[in-house]
Amino acid sequence: MTAKLLLVEDMIVEDEEFHHLNNPADGIKPIVKKYLGTPNHAEQLGNKIFFTDGDAKVEVLIVTNEIIRVRLAPHSVFLEEFSYAVPELPETSVEFTLLENEQEFRVTTPAINCHIRKQDFFISFSDKNDHVTSSDAVPMHWEENTQFGGYYVFCTKTCEEQESFFGLGDKATEFNLRGKRLKNWNTDAYSFGYNQDPLYRSIPFYISVSDGIAHGIFFDNTFKAHFDFGGEDPTKTSFWADGGELQYYYIHGPHMMDVVKNYHLLTGTHPMPPLWALGYHQCRWSYYPENKVRVIANGFRQNRIPCDGIYLDIDYMDGYRCFTWSPKYFPNPKKMIADLAANGFKTVVIIDPGIRVDDNYSVFKEGKEKKYFCRRCDDYFMEGHVWPGRCQFPDFTNPEVRAWWGDLFDDLVETGVAGVWNDMNEPAVFGSGTFPDDVRHQYDGYRGSHRKAHNVYGMQMVRATYEGLRKQMKNKRPFTITRAGYSGVQRYSSVWTGDNVASWEHLKLGNIQLQRLSVSGISFCGTDIGGFSGEPDGELFTRWIQMGAFSPFMRAHSAGDTKEREPWSFGEPYTAINRKFIELRYRLIPYLYSAFWEHHRYGFPILRPVVMHEQEEVSNHFRQDEFTYGDKILICPVLEPGQKSRSVYLPKGKWFNFWTLEMVDGGKEVVVPTPLDIMPIFVKAGSVIPEYPVMQYTGEKEIEEVKLNIYYSDYEVNSFLFEDYGETFAYEQDIYLEKKFVVKGTADKLTIQQSMEGLYTPRYEGYHIKLNGLPFKPTKIVADGKEIATISSNSDKTYEFKFSKNFKKIEIFK
Ligand code: MIG
């Protein structure tokens, strides 16, 4: 109130007109939502077009042929352009036209139209066939925020009767978001429940599919944001935020895949991970002391269960002080890590953002001297309790702080640590949950309160971690994993879904969350296998390992108060089945690595839900169990206890049951037996699936030959294999090999052609080729003009032979 009266008094001095009023506050209009009026003017500046209603301004930016950005400035003053999600707009030249007629202004690119209706400032988008894909239901609007300044900003679009919605990161609800109202505000959600919202990450990007056509909306606003997908009113879709700019990107499809690729064009992809990071990781809160870590590591080797990564949770530190080691539990970390490395294990350590207030602790002292910790609005330090006790928190939105933080990893890297796990970076604070709104942030020079920086805090922390490690590791690929994040976090880290629960419901949720993260830009993701809190029985753990073997990131983890949770902890038959699936994970590493390359280089997600394969079928909008791993292998996890069989939907085309090699026609559901040692896996006909020999860890042995599993098809199918050194950034200088296989069969012949691109030469010489599903018995195999002399035929009608890795063409004759 005071602020308002003062304002009015100022006006009295300046404005003659008010002098005769007894109560000048009567003249002030109450705060209400304001809507855009009518656009009376368009002005073009390069690829931006500005429209105004006389007071508010709207900017339409043509980013690419398929991407248009819309921004609103209530009184014509735009905020400075800056985004953590989109560091740079893609550089493409677009030819567009601006047209004006009686009804509208229309911006047309070779792919889409953006319409600005004169009558009411409604903004809509349509495709080349004038099919409207997205349209305002009310004009963009805002409400002044007297306490913090700025505005609450709102956008409301129409929602079609059969429109479906996907995306938004890791929401713990059905895959299709139709009918839901959800919030983005990074939250430490220990043991989150089904439908609990918000969770750890904020990804303000969704995909709509309506009439078989997909488009995406990326609402690049870091404030607390809300989405309603026909929940309040089935005819409306809305998104709004507590501050910042109403700024969104319309991303055209028509396929979901196009939308996701274009979202990656804006926000980036995950860099290639070190190959070992695709292996199995074992985690626990916590393995200590040192001897326990050694016992666990040896347990893997003794049980012949492959494992590449072992984690140290918070107890490795000295009083939870980041960048220190407990002298009691880990007296000689360098020796321990070296011994683990000699045994094939990479060590990953946890690092939290809270720095203990302690003048005898160098990290605190330095951060304090350099003024790197966050402060409240009145300049007090932001203090809160976390594991180390009373803590202060680096302002990771300050580039100087990020550089300092990155350099703090020099000792850990010197000690031999291969990866870093950033936890508690929502940021989480005991008791209060997170920072108060008034905490100030440098925000890369653009300034802001915690309202604006909260959702990017964790992302900037892991960015500092990743960039620091990359520098300290002299350009070897670092491995990082984070709990919190915002759009674009995939450029710096993998993620896990946080503190889940050892229940069948959470196995189901995890399956959905990973598919959702994957279509929301975060392909390198995994759940805590087995469930973080609570106790899984052997069956649940094994079913989770089976699903986890096909999660881009595979790690088992458990809370401190739970029983032993290693893949052999449940005895037989579980140990043997867990081993079988972890071995399968390792056999398929070259396939996963190739899918990763497709992600990194071309923006394909690694996990692809069924709807992404067949979006035109509305029934597929509600399928959430099965997905493909890359584009060739279809997985359907078993999600119920005691399940003897389950039905699996196969997209159209021909598929081979991975276990029986039976060929099945897709486009329908099939019933598959699911004894405990089987999870339904199908391979697309025509695929070439590369396979490594089972090893106890990646790089245990030199690869002597690569197995190519070829699946017959009577139509043409392409497959890819990516190979490189697996641990440096040489691929950025084109030191890699991208192989393409083309498989095509007829009733009496199968042809496989190979072509290659790139500068890398793998050390192995030959392929071990296995032919699956041939509809005939081969009488002759000719490779590059030479007849193959030795072919072994197996009882399951598969055939094997060896040939040079450089073959160009192999023909198999009936
Ligand atoms: O307050 O570091 O989600 O994975 O084991 C709990 C201890 C802090 C939460 C993480 C969990 C981790 C645990 N952390």
- pLDDT beyond 80 at 474: yes
Q: What is the pLDDT of residues 70-84, one digit of tens each?
A: 999 999 999 999 999
CB 206 within 8 A of CB 227: yes
- Alpha helices in 228-285, H assignment, sequence order: 256-267
Task: Please give the distance, rounded to the nearest whole angstrom, from the Cα atom of residue 483 to the centre of ligand 1.
Answer: 9
Separation between Cα atoms, residue 367 and residue 385, nearest integer Å: 17
- List, edge to edge, every strand of the sheet that includes 112-117: 97-100, 104-108, 112-117, 123-127, 132-135
- Point out the ligand 1 atom lying closest to the alpha carbon of residue 499: 3
Q: Is the pLDDT of residue 6 over 50?
A: no
* Structure tokens given for 252: 């055209």
Query: By the 8 A CB rule, do 278 and 257 touch?
Result: no
Q: What is the pLDDT of residue 17?
A: 47
Secondary structure class of 102 (helix, strand, coil): coil
Q: How far is CA 577 from the centre of its chain?
A: 29
Q: What is the largest CA-CA distance in the chain?
A: 108
Write the DSSP assignment of 652-678 as a string of letters. Answer: SSEEEETTT--EEE-SEEEEEE--TT-
How many angstroms separate the Cα of 54 from the Cα of each of 35, 85, 668?
12, 31, 56
Catalytic residue status for 677: no
Q: What separation in Å is there between the alpha carbon of 230 and the centre of ligand 1?
A: 35
Residue 691 Cβ < 6 Å to ligand 1: no
**375 pLDDT more than 50:** yes
Whether 285 is in the pocket of ligand 1, judged by its Cβ within 6 Å, is yes
CA 288 – CA 534 distance, rounded (Å) = 20
d(CA 400, CA 396): 9
* Ligand 1 close to Cβ of residue 313 (< 6 A): yes
Residue of 170, 220, 423, 626 with catalytic role: 423
Tokens of residue 661, six digits? 């090699």
Quote the pLDDT of residue 100: 97
Q: Separation of 478 CA from ligand 1 center, angstroms?
A: 21
Mutating to test ligand 1, I would choose from 199, 283, 287, 313 the residue with most ligand atoms within 8 A of its C-beta, which is 313
Confidence of residue 30 (pLDDT cuts 50, 70, 90): confident
CA–centroid distance, residue 424 to ligand 1 (Å): 7
CA of 423 to the centre of ligand 1 (A): 7
pLDDT-derived band at 25 (thresholds 50, 70, 90) equals low
Nearest CA to ligand 1 atom 11: 499
Secondary structure (DSSP) of 395-456: -TTSHHHHHHHHHTTHHHHHHT--EEEE-STTT-BTTTBS--TT-EE-GGGT-EEHHHHHHH
pLDDT average, residue stretch 772-793: 96
DSSP state of 37: -
Does any ligand 1 atom lie closer than 6 A to the CB of residue 499? yes
CA dist., res. 276 & res. 574, Å (int): 25
pLDDT above 50: residue 622: yes
Residue 631, ligand 1, Cβ within 6 A: no
**pLDDT band (50, 70, 90) for residue 475:** confident
498 in contact with ligand 1, CB cutoff 6 A:
yes
- Mean pLDDT, rounded, of the chain: 96
Query: Closest by alpha carbon to 285, among 247, 320, 257, 253?
Result: 320
**Catalytic residue status for 407:** no
Distance, in Å, from the CA atom of 664 to the CA atom of 647, rounded to the nearest integer, reads 13
Beginning with the edge strand found earlier in the chain, give each strand of the sheet holding 737-746 in spatial order. 717-723, 737-746, 749-758, 809-813, 780-783, 786-787
Q: Give yes or no for residue 423 CB within 6 A of ligand 1.
A: yes
Identify which of 285, 311, 483 to mutate to test ligand 1's pocket (most ligand atoms within 8 A of the CB): 285
| Residue 23: band (very low, low, confident or very high) from pLDDT cuts 50, 70, 90 | low
**Would the CB of 142 count as within 6 Å of ligand 1?**
no
In 234-276, DSSP assigns E strands to 236-241, 246-252
Residue to probe by mutation, ligand 1, list 420, 424, 483, 558, most atoms within 8 Å of CB:
424
Please, are residues 168 and 516 in contact by the beta-carbon 8 Å criterion?
A: yes
Burial class (CB in 10 A: 0-12, 13-18, 19+), 16: exposed
Q: What is the Å distance from ligand 1's center to 622 Cα?
A: 33
* Residues across the chain: 814
Residue nearest to atom 5 of ligand 1 (CA): 285
Q: What is the DSSP letter of 78?
A: P
Taking the C-alpha atoms of residue 164 and residue 229, their distance in angstroms, rounded to an integer, is 8
In the set 426, 626, 727, 738, the catalytic residue is: 426
Strands (E), 602-715: 607-609, 627-629, 633-635, 645-650, 654-657, 663-665, 668-673, 681-684, 688-691, 705-711
Give residue 560 CA to ligand 1 midpoint distance, Å: 9
List the structure tokens of 435. 């920072």
What's the rounded Cα separation, in Å, for the pair 388 and 458? 18
Residue whose pair of structure tokens reads 């601006």 in the numeric block = 98
Q: pLDDT confidence of 24, banded at 50, 70, 90?
A: low
Q: Kindly state the average pLDDT of the residues 603-630.
A: 98
Ligand 1 within 6 A of CB of 353: no
User: Hey, which bits of 253-399 come out as E strands?
Assistant: 280-282, 309-312, 346-351, 355-356, 384-386, 389-392
The closest residue, in CA terms, to atom 8 on ligand 1 is 424
Residues 6+ apart with CB under 8 A from 2: none
pLDDT in tens, 108-120: 999 999 999 999 9
pLDDT digit string, tens, across residues 546-593: 999 999 999 999 999 999 999 999 999 999 999 999 999 999 999 999
Answer yes or no: is pLDDT of 178 > 70.
yes
What's the pLDDT score for residue 40?
87
Ligand 1 atom with the smallest distance to the CA of 559 is: 5
Residues paired with 103 in a beta bridge: none
Q: Is 352 in the pocket of ligand 1 (CB under 6 A)?
A: no
**Cβ count near 147 (within 10 Å):** 8
The per-residue pLDDT for range 311-357, each reduced to its tens digit, is: 999 999 999 999 999 999 999 999 999 999 999 999 999 999 999 99
pTM of the model: 0.96
Which atom of ligand 1 has the smallest separation from the CA of 283? 5
> Is residue 350 lining ligand 1, measured as CB closer than 6 Å?
yes
Mean pLDDT of 774-800: 96
Catalytic residue among 163, 499, 583, 727: 499
Encoded tokens for 808: 């160009």
Which region among 89-98, 458-467, 499-508, 788-797 has the lowest average model confidence (pLDDT)? 89-98
Would you call 705 a catalytic residue per the annotation? no
What span, in angstroms and rounded, lies between the C-alpha atoms of 653 and 728? 38
Q: 314 CB under 6 A from ligand 1? A: yes
Phi, psi of 82 (to 5 degrees): -160, 135
Percent of the residues in the chain that have a pLDDT greater than 70, as a whole number:
97
Find the 351 Cα to ligand 1 centroid distance in Å.
11
Tokens of 758: 């790139």
Ligand 1: residue of 314, 315, 494, 499 to mutate (most ligand atoms within 8 A of CB) is 499
